[in-house]
Amino acid sequence: MTIPTTAPIRIQRLSHMRYQHADLPKARQFLEDFGMHVVYSENDGKSLYFAGQGPDAFVYVATAGETSAFLGGTFLVETKADLERASDLIPGATKLLPASPAGGFLVTFQDPDGLPCNLVWGLPEREVGTQTSPDAVNYPVQKPRKGEFRRFKQEPCPVFKLGHFGLLVSSFQKTFDFYTRYFNLKATDILTAPDGTKVAGFMHIDREEEWVDHHTFFFSINRRVGPHHCSFEVRDSDVQAIGHDWLKAKGYTPSWGVGRHILGSQIFDYWYMPDNFMVEHYSDGDLVNNTFETNYLPAGDESLAIWGPAVPKGFMDAIPDESQRGTA
């Protein structure tokens, strides 16, 4: 059956992020300390593909370049036909390109602010490791863990998957209209200014009855246009806290955390890479499906977290507060 040209391009989930780094060895060391590992290398080591513990072939692509640059988040589409339609329908989109040493095809395009975004199809899936299975937790009344001790190691926090990424944009409506016109994205939460102006959107992938992450993509209007952060799911808050201490001991720059978000409910921990791209570990996020209607809430720091440190200076602009460098 031919899909009407007015039907949205069907996204299945997020696949990976793509960045260019002026100092690739330094970026590689950070990403390994952040909990990823290299699975593919090409162009004489100038392009590195990092995987987590989840099913995706890789979750981050780092490419060497003269300057550091954001090259976009990458959505996995359902079918090759979706990818071909995207190439034909989205203004300025590329033709199908080779996606990686693992195979697959890639299409790149730019949003209304000229920010890059990507679609991929045909990547192989990895076997999910048994180390991602949950441990039993003893609560005050229910105590299923009897005679079993929990012992941890000081090590990087293993990344499972890419959960979401966010952009700073010039116009809420242009960005919202673009992504909802071409893709099966739906707003879970929209934040508004005191005058009712829409200023930020938390978008989930509309998979009908299927339960999906509270948001896979978000955007917020800002005087600065560019990436805000990308976020990777981890197993639980214990490995997340151990990973926080690991990054702190390595001397990396913290952004914000550890704390608990309100929208999405995730336990969060934000860090800056050596070239100041913001990345996040998160655990225990909310799920939604098509039974949930879009919520409208007032924007403000008080809507960002229920506990944790105060929102740091520069966080919403994705600009490091130099007073935090080397602290956590």
User: 24 with 48: CB under 8 angstroms?
Assistant: yes
Strand, helix or coil for residue 253: strand
Query: Rounded to the nearest 10 degrees, how much is the dihedral formed by the CA atoms of 70, 77, 159, 28?
Result: -40
Residues of the chain with pLDDT under 50: 1-5
Q: Please, what are the domains in the chain?
A: 11-125+159-324 (3.10.180.10)
Torsion sign across C-alpha atoms 232, 233, 235, 237: positive
Chain-centroid distance of CA 235 in Å reads: 15
d(CA 197, CA 187): 15
At which residue do the structure tokens 């199809």 appear? 121
pLDDT for 324 equals 63
Question: What does the pLDDT read at residue 120?
Answer: 98
Find where tokens 């917020």 sit: 220
233, β-bridge pairs: 161, 282
The pLDDT value given to residue 149:
87
Q: Could you write out the DSSP letters of every residue in 197-258? A: -EEEEEEEE--TTS-EES-SEEEEE-SS-EEEEEEEEES-HHHHHHHHHHHHHTTPEEEEEE
In the 8-state DSSP scheme, what is residue 151? -
Question: Using one digit for the tens of pLDDT, what is the confidence trace for 36-76?
Answer: 999 999 999 999 999 999 999 999 999 999 999 999 999 99
